Structure 1
Amino acid sequence: MATAAFPPGGTYFDNVKRSFTDVPVNAAAGNAISTTEFLEASESLTGLFDVLGSAAFKPVKGDVLGNVKKIRERQLESPAESETLQDLVRNELKTKKHTATEGLVWLVRGLDFTAQALRKNLNAPSEELAASFREAYSNTLKPHHSFIIKPIFSAAMSATPYRKDFYTKLGDDQTKVNEELNVWLKALEAIVAILKEFLATKEAKW
């Protein structure tokens, strides 16, 4: 049996290295999002794929971590120009390169997929995870995936555990789990919305 992903009396979110609730967003500077904390929170999010427990989710997790790596490499290369995600994108595009920017586009799609799947499931107490994840996949990643990738991700959607098993792995107190998941999701959704809006602007295009 898998070990619990949470401390006694707590929830999965107590063990998260960095939550999206802890990612600084500077509203006065056009909702600038701090790069370091955002990448840490994105890495921490992949722990949820481990809780989902299926080997089928390895490509989803690998996709997120691969895109985090592209963004972090650019940040390490030019730290002074990459303190916020928006500055990182603007400054990379000035060099006529777009590896990290493209990584961010794909990372945001992956985060959007995760947020939509969990939000739909949280809001529909009788719906199984597979249905929520399939719908979220259709709305987010599927339109951008090739015919080779689609079956791999579709298999992951169908391999999700039963709803009750997943939520039990997040904590013993389901009311607390739902409350903390909702807080985490709201922060993630807000960041995804800011980044989607920014990435749709001319200055983020290559």
Structure 2
Amino acid sequence: MSTFFDEMQKSFTDVPVSADKKVSTSEFLEASESLVKLFDLFGSSAFSVVQNDMNGNIKKIREYLLKNPANAATLQDLVLAEAGTKSKTATQGLLWLSRGLQFTAESLKETIDNPTKELSDTFTAGYNKTLVKYHSFVVKPVFKLAMKACPYRKDFFAKLGADQTKVLAQLKAWLAALQNIVSIIFEFFASGNYGKGL
């Protein structure tokens, strides 16, 4: 029986990361698009704010990749290529997309680590650990409202797939790969202060 993870266009477990921690841009974008579809399972329009934000940032990076394929094969190459220019649209997109991915990863980790807690609690905890510090007083209530619109835990896991043992194993592997890639991106941003002013 297939699961949500079987049907993904690209999983984070399939994103190439080189020995020197360079992350392939095109596969990263495909895996990010697959992650955004996870929020479709929530069945609430409240999460469109999260999806629209992520999709908008994916679009910025993809447009840069299409125009500059030689300079943007990896995420690090893309940031370095834009570093010397006035426009840092793709770098900004990557920074904000990575924050959204970190929020998703942290929320799902909370969900796995606390099997008795509902998603509205685990995603609120994930939000408070990640995105809340970047959001203005205008945006915070919109996101907090979305967290309250999370489905019941059992309903969400049922939508991921009928074989719950398989679902949990796949979720853990996918999450570990996602967390690894997000940490690589943030380490790289910190190494050259590339997120300054974005």
Could you state the TM-score of these two structures normalised by the residue count of structure 1? 0.93
Q: Distance in 1 between matches of 2:60 and 2:182?
A: 18
Q: Retained in 2: the 8 A contact 1:90–1:203?
A: no
When residues 116 and 205 of structure 1 are mapped into structure 2, their CA distance, relative to the original with a 3 A threshold, is closer
Paired amino acid for 1:119: K
1:168 is matched with: 158
1:198 is matched with: 188
In the TM superposition, residue 14 of structure 1 has moved relative to its aligned partner by 0.8
Percent identity reads 54
**RMSD (Å) for aligned C-alpha atoms:** 1.0
Q: Distance in 1 between matches of 2:49 and 2:66?
A: 25
Superposed CA offset, 1:19-58 (max 9, x none) = 001100001xx20000000001001101110001111000
In the TM superposition, residue 203 of structure 1 has moved relative to its aligned partner by 5.5
1:145 is matched with: 135
Q: Distance in 1 between matches of 2:34 and 2:64?
A: 20
1:39 aligns with 2:38: no
In the TM superposition, residue 130 of structure 1 has moved relative to its aligned partner by 0.6
1:19 aligns with 2:20: no
Structure 1 runs not aligned, ≥5 long: 1-8
Superposed CA offset, 1:163-198 (max 9, x none) = 000000111111111111111101101101101111
1:52 aligns with 2:42: yes
Superposed CA offset, 1:137-171 (max 9, x none) = 01111110111111111111000010000000111
1:114 is matched with: 104
Q: Retained in 2: the 8 A contact 1:34–1:85?
A: yes
Could you state the TM-score of these two structures normalised by the residue count of structure 2? 0.96
1:81 aligns with 2:52: no
In the TM superposition, residue 96 of structure 1 has moved relative to its aligned partner by 2.5
1:101 is matched with: 91
Q: Distance in 2 between matches of 1:65 and 1:200?
A: 24
In the TM superposition, residue 97 of structure 1 has moved relative to its aligned partner by 1.9
Paired amino acid for 2:80: R
When residues 205 and 173 of structure 1 are mapped into structure 2, their CA distance, relative to the original with a 3 A threshold, is closer
Paired amino acid for 2:60: K
In the TM superposition, residue 205 of structure 1 has moved relative to its aligned partner by 4.2
Paired amino acid for 2:176: K
Paired residue total:
196
Q: Retained in 2: the 8 A contact 1:32–1:85?
A: yes
1:5 is matched with: none
Q: Retained in 2: the 8 A contact 1:21–1:188?
A: yes
Structure 2 runs not aligned, ≥5 long: none
1:187 aligns with 2:188: no
Q: Retained in 2: the 8 A contact 1:111–1:192?
A: yes
Q: Distance in 2 between matches of 1:199 and 1:16?
A: 28
Paired amino acid for 2:96: W
